[in-house]
Amino acid sequence: MKHILQAFLLSFLILSLCQAQITILDDFETSAGHFNLQTDYSGSTVGIWGSQPTLDSSTAASGTKSLKIVLVDNPGLTTDWAVRFLSGTGTPANNVNMGAKGWTGYWLKTNRSWVRTAPCIDAPGTAEIGDTAVVNGDDQWHLYQWNLGQNGQPMWKGWVTGNDTISDDATPTYDAIWFFAPDGSDTTVIYLDAVSWDSTEAIPVELVSIEASVNNNLVDLRWITSTETNNKGFEIQRRSTNSLFESIAFVHGKGTSTQITGYSYSDKLSQAGTYCYRLKQVDFDGTYEYSNEVMVNVIALPGQYALAQNYPNPFNPSTSIEFVLPQSGLVNLSVFNLLGEKVAELVNEVKESGNHTVMFDASRLSSGTYIYTLNVNGNIVTKKMTLIK
């Protein structure tokens, strides 16, 4: 793995040499898209109680939201779970056409190791089920995908007629995503995101990219390889402001593979601040190469009141100020000059817990340094900002 190129973001923004064409079928940012919000809507589903999937903003493989699916065992049945999670009403007219070539797949996250999954694709005369994949139960995001251009076993099998001819259809569409589990399994929460189709036929050159998101003090790192050669794995390195990179974890690679593989790692921080991350990809022969760096800003730890540095800073004439409340309270956010005189009151009202952002327009003020102060529930936090006109 000698040439790590910045490309193939988890959000499927492709900057690859082979110019891959990615179509996002459903990203779940605003709705369930083509999927039916009922786990047992299909009569083919057995073994579970019906439940209603919901949009969830606590985790996402791409963007800010994913679809949370809860599978609950029906103790009155003794059959293994087979959940046909329908796309639309299950008819091709309601779904996005793909092509006869390329790859289709989706991202899943769960902490249950007994789940298997496969796409069900409408094709000539029947629906074709992909070879079932065992879902990684490490509570991290992983990509699962299938080759639309490969007929027959083991990649595809006909669901009804067994003709195994998926690539004979010029415009296949999603019928459903299947989930399988043994009878009596514990309640299983699965997060689904970024159902996609890549129309590229050729295997692209090796690509690695890293993306990070922050939820309180938890930093989620995600990256993708399109091919791997002699890849031992990835050393995850982190540094804070004015410090050197240090190794914090190691994630094993796939060795040699032509399959697109998604990886993820979660880093729980004990201090707020600005952090940079990078990957050190290591081959079995000891050679290595670094990925691009990605920076995150952790404003506050759980339970802490925090006031972020305004952005941009210096500014002219407007800037944004973010603050974090662990609980609701009467909030006062004011701006003072260096003489201690209040020049603006931005907030003076009760706010709920969570992250809040306000804009400050300083068009009527003179250039200089100003102090802004957050006062809530007996907690006072102060920072400086600079106005340059």
Query: Does residue 294 carry a pLDDT above 80?
Result: yes
Per-residue pLDDT band at 134 (split at 50, 70, 90): confident
Please give the mean pLDDT across all residues of the chain.
Answer: 83
Q: Is omega for the bond preceding 75 within 30 degrees of 0, making it cis?
A: no
Query: Does residue 136 carry a pLDDT above 60?
Result: yes
Report pLDDT for 167.
65
**Chain segment 47-58, per-residue pLDDT in tens:** 999 999 999 999
Which residues of the chain does CATH 2.60.40.10 include? 208-298
Full-model pTM: 0.53
**Tokens matching residue 37:** 């919000």
- Whether residue 273 contacts residue 214, with contact meaning beta carbons closer than 8 Å, is answered with no
Report pLDDT for 148.
82
| Average confidence (pLDDT) over 138-166 | 72
Query: Does residue 267 carry a pLDDT above 60?
Result: yes
Report pLDDT for 163.
61
| Average confidence (pLDDT) over 166-176 | 79
- Whether residue 264 contacts residue 279, with contact meaning beta carbons closer than 8 Å, is answered with no
Report pLDDT for 76.
92
Report pLDDT for 255.
80
Fold of 306-387: Immunoglobulin-like (2.60.40)
Neighbours of 307 (CB within 10 A): 21
Per-residue pLDDT band at 126 (split at 50, 70, 90): low
CA distance 202 to 149: 11
Report pLDDT for 89.
62
What architecture is the 22-198 domain classified under in CATH? Sandwich (2.60)
Report pLDDT for 8.
33
Query: Does residue 358 carry a pLDDT above 90?
Result: yes
Neighbours of 186 (CB within 10 A): 10
Amino acid at residue number 199: S
Report pLDDT for 271.
85
Query: Does residue 374 carry a pLDDT above 80?
Result: yes
Report pLDDT for 75.
93
Query: Does residue 206 carry a pLDDT above 60?
Result: no
Which residues of the chain does CATH 2.60.40.1930 include? 306-387
Burial class (CB in 10 A: 0-12, 13-18, 19+), 153: exposed
- Whether residue 210 contacts residue 223, with contact meaning beta carbons closer than 8 Å, is answered with yes
Residues 6+ apart with CB under 8 A from 348: 330, 331, 332, 333, 334
| Average confidence (pLDDT) over 352-374 | 93
Residues 6+ apart with CB under 8 A from 384: 369, 370, 371, 372
Q: Which residue has the higher pLDDT, 147 or 227?
A: 147
Which residues of the chain does CATH 2.60.120.260 include? 22-198
Length of the chain: 389
Per-residue pLDDT band at 21 (split at 50, 70, 90): low
Q: Which residue has the higher pLDDT, 98 or 388?
A: 388
Q: Which residue has the higher pLDDT, 221 or 147?
A: 221
User: Which CATH superfamily, name and number, covers 208-298?
Assistant: Immunoglobulins (2.60.40.10)
**Chain segment 305-336, per-residue pLDDT in tens:** 889 899 899 999 999 999 989 899 999 999 99
| Residue 237 half-sphere exposure toward CB, CA atoms < 13 A | 17
Q: Which residue has the higher pLDDT, 126 or 252?
A: 252
Query: Does residue 11 carry a pLDDT above 80?
Result: no
Q: Which residue has the higher pLDDT, 157 or 234?
A: 234
